[in-house]
Copies of this chain bind each other. A is one copy, B any other.
Amino acid sequence: MRKTTLKQLAHELQLSTSTISRALSDNYQISQKTKERVKHYAIERRYTVNRYAKSLREGNTKTIGVVICAMDKPFMAQVLNGVYDGCNEAGYQFLVMQSKGSFTAEKECVERLLHNGIDGLLISPSFNSFDLGYLVEQQAKGLPIVLFDRISRQIKTHQVAVDNFLGAQTSAKYLLDKGMKRVLVIGCLEEVWLSRERVEGFLSTMDLLTANEHECEVVNVDPTHREQLAQQLEKVFVKRLKSRPQFDAIFATTDTFTTTTIRCLNKLQINIPLIGFCNSELSDILIGNPTRIVQPAYQVGMAAVGQLLQLIKHPAQTDFETIYLPTKLEEGNTI
């Protein structure tokens, strides 16, 4: 199991380790002949550098840390897929940590990654992370950081997000085209930018295109616990939809809201058009076949890695950029 080392190659070729090292890295000081001999032999002996020794020597790790809420949510799994490809292309690897939505856990994740040794950090702060001071602190110590998904103005750095505002506007336009202007909007209690932007984008278009004649209502729920969420929504639906159907459609502002809404509507036997954010592969075979707003998850991951690698390469960078990627509307057959 012991891997071949430079020393062994050197011994076997009757050369010094430094010559081997230089030959393998195509150093100009080495003769063509020696280079070829060394390279050839290295392949034969299946030599590969010891990453740990190299990292120790060079002071980098060729590893980036990724902190997310949970990797078994479709959106995040797709993002990770993008991160994976982005890293591979560049010869990097990545370590994932899950905060499970806890701010404390999130800080611990970063701590552990730091302890582990990373060249940069990719993070989607949990919706409970109001104070990103701990990130600013690490940044000041020299850690390259890129925020994605849930971005924030608290920290000056590259960021990658989905254009939630535009996505929501598109949804509103879509509904209005179908003649629907009485919409029940499922928003979020917390100060979650994601949901808020979507509510605002939606209403802005509604206001503009209907000259304020829309009859939308925003319901804010607490997304923290899955079961509680279902209960909250059920209550809302019973009250607003069951007796007198005063709404043309529902707009769900997050993936979880969309799927939980389907669950509740189905349970309550309520039939009402639904449009909502949804990134599952199965979004086209969900009950009621809702119209979906799909986020470019893979591209988010890709772009975020790109930004981070660039930041690692140019640490002195001070001109930061926030990339907004567009969503895609996938029509269901009920609206």
Would A142 and B1 count as touching, CB distance under 8 A?
A: yes
| Pairs across A and B, CB under 8 Å, 24 listed | A1-B141, A1-B143, A48-B114, A48-B115, A49-B115, A50-B117, A51-B115, A51-B116, A51-B117, A56-B56, A71-B77, A71-B80, A74-B77, A74-B281, A81-B98, A95-B95, A259-B281, A263-B284, A266-B285, A282-B282, A282-B286, A285-B286, A286-B287, A287-B289
Would A61 and B52 count as touching, CB distance under 8 A?
A: yes
Query: Is A180 close to B, CB under 8 A?
Result: no
A261-290 Cβ-contact flags toward B at 8 Å (1 or 0): 011001000000000000011101111010
Copies in the complex: 2
Would A116 and B93 count as touching, CB distance under 8 A?
A: yes
Q: How many residues of A contact B (CB 8 A)?
A: 43
A72-127 with Cβ < 8 A to chain B: 72-74, 77-78, 80-81, 84, 93, 95-96, 98, 114-117
Query: Is A70 close to B, CB under 8 A?
Result: yes
- The CA-CA distance from A22 to B285 in the complex, in Å, is 60
- The CA-CA distance from A93 to B53 in the complex, in Å, is 18
Contacts A259-B282, A286-B287 known; list 20 others, CB within 8 Å: A48-B115, A49-B115, A50-B56, A56-B56, A70-B81, A72-B74, A72-B77, A72-B80, A72-B81, A73-B77, A74-B74, A74-B77, A84-B96, A262-B285, A263-B284, A263-B285, A280-B280, A285-B287, A287-B287, A287-B289
